[in-house]
Amino acid sequence: MVQIRVEKAKIDQKQTSLLVIGVFEGEQDFSQSKELDPSVLTYIKEALENKDFRGTFGSSMVAYTLGKGPMKKIMLLGLGKRDKFTDEMARICAGKAAHRARDLGTKEFSILQFSNLDEGLVEAMTEGIALALYTFDKYKAQDKDAVRVEEVTILINSDSPRFSMIAERASHVADAVNFARDLGNLPPNDCPPAHLASVALSLAAEYGMKARVIDRYELENMNMGGIVAVGKGSNNPPKLIILEYNGATASDAKPYLLVGKAVTFDTGGISLKPGDKMDEMKFDKCGGCNVLAILRAVASLKLAVNVVGIVPSVENMPSSTAYRPGDIIRMYNGKTVEVLNTDAEGRMILADALAYGISTYSPKAVIDMATLTGAAIIALGANVAALVGNNKQLTDRVRRMAEKAGERVWDLPLYDEFHEQIKSSYADIKNVGGRSGGAITAAAFLSNFVAGTPWVHMDIAGTAWTQDGTYERSYNPKGATGFGIRTLLKLLGEEEKPSTSSSSSSQQGQQQQQQQQ
């Protein structure tokens, strides 16, 4: 991973191969003009005056200093209109700068703060750089001559140590997102449920968490009918993966419960999907990959909260042992489900995991993440995740954190009529409710298994990987995106007491973790 640090330094004192300077559209004044060599400054001003470079959002121009200054090259980076500049735009622009630096064969570069300094700006720039430089090249022949960006310095006009802490924290978060991307991008032949279980066990050993993996026959004995039914069509048996992180200082603190769908490949089962783009169904595990990544980040940041992550993982295959349309399945909480479509498998495995997690851990709140429905993409497109929940306060918190993270979400209503759509003539409920309101009826199904606990469902089917209609963001390379991880880490980080500084909170979490080890 690239190393990103924050430093107070004048640009005429900073030795760097490339200096990135952000320029707002229509502005020609440089606050750093006294620190640039006059000939270099003249060249830049002429480019602006002649409109060779306009500062439009995402544009760039590189000037060579020819030894006149401590930097070898200067990149002007367009920031767009100043009055429209946001942290999300800073994240995208920082990512574009990282891409251009990589294309220039630069191992190290420095970048000036884009606008007025605050924590959000430093966080956004750090995330943009670290996320944009992600590559998934596990299966490609390695180019020995390829140059990777290894070090980036964000130059700021303050020597406050808190900005270094913000950058360090943002780097941990970006590491978690890239970890989830690595898992999400794995092909199904290399990532059956057993592989995700192995990853969870490794995380537990590395970060001092508790882990448990429940296998098929134990799942049967525990009456996890949904997980067993979906998984039994594959030669790769299902797993229920559990990770526990205990960082809260209070011994009786209730945990947050995170549940992530991990269908390592989804053919649709007997209700077979069309062949077109079926290869993308390796991304049906992204919700579960995100949950594993969030637990990794929570542990590495040593947050003073308790978090339980549960990942039901299956491979949904057609075979002589696969579950069928017309089957009636008894779930963990005793409710029966009539199966009308075996491609509505995600809600089946999530339902068992939700019911088990709530009855076992009595959480303060539950959030599930799942690539659950194509209907969510039809409703909101490929850039907005659907939120459905039973607790307005929790839903509002998730939405606020998503806005800060630059991850767009939108609430969908869970009216009583949607519960009517999933009533079955032969069982308690059925696993599909028809074409109308499909994203909401899927959530209505899940609501039968949360027992009144505050709960939010995030349908990330449109946002979990780059697909048709995905808005191009510099920090989201092709493939799995890790969408939602930064949002939920903000929410969990908010749990730390307002009167406690981030550093002391981290120390408390570390002490608690060490006691458990």
Please report, in range form, the residues annotated as the binding site for Mn(2+).
261, 266, 284, 343, 345
The helix (run of H) or strand (run of E) holding residue 417 is: helix 416-421
d(CA 420, CA 493): 38
Q: Which residues are within 8 A (CB) of 15 and not within 5 positions of it... i.e. 6 or more apart?
A: 70, 71
3-state secondary structure of 326: coil
Both structure tokens of 467: 């697909």
392 catalytic per annotation: no
Q: Are 292 and 203 in contact (CB under 8 A)?
A: yes
**Cβ neighbour number for residue 272 with a 10 Å cutoff:** 13
347 catalytic per annotation: yes
Q: Which residue has the tokens 């490609």?
A: 140
Q: Which residue has the tokens 């989201």?
A: 476
d(CA 330, CA 146): 54
d(CA 392, CA 395): 5
Strands (E), 317-464: 328-330, 336-338, 365-370, 385-389, 409-411, 429-430, 455-459
Q: Could you say which DSSP state residue 82 is in? A: G
Task: Compute φ and ψ for 15, nearest 5 degrees.
Answer: -75, 120
d(CA 234, CA 212): 22
d(CA 496, CA 510): 13
Q: Are 480 and 465 in contact (CB under 8 A)?
A: yes
Q: Are 130 and 178 in contact (CB under 8 A)?
A: yes
Q: What is the DSSP string of 227-287?
A: HHHHHTTSSS--EEEEEEEE--SSTTPPPEEEEE-EEEEE--TTSPPPSTTGGGGGGGGHH
Catalytic residue among 102, 285, 347, 490: 347
Catalytic residue among 72, 162, 254, 273: 273
Both structure tokens of 433: 């409710």
Q: Are 75 and 20 in contact (CB under 8 A)?
A: yes
Pinpoint the alpha helices (H) of 429-501: 438-447, 485-493
Q: Which residues pair with 239 in a beta bridge?
A: 313
Which of 20, 23, 4, 155 minimizes the C-alpha distance to 100? Answer: 20
227 exposed, middle or buried (CB, 10 Å; 0-12, 13-18, 19+)?
buried
Task: Write out the catalytic residue numbers.
Answer: 273, 347
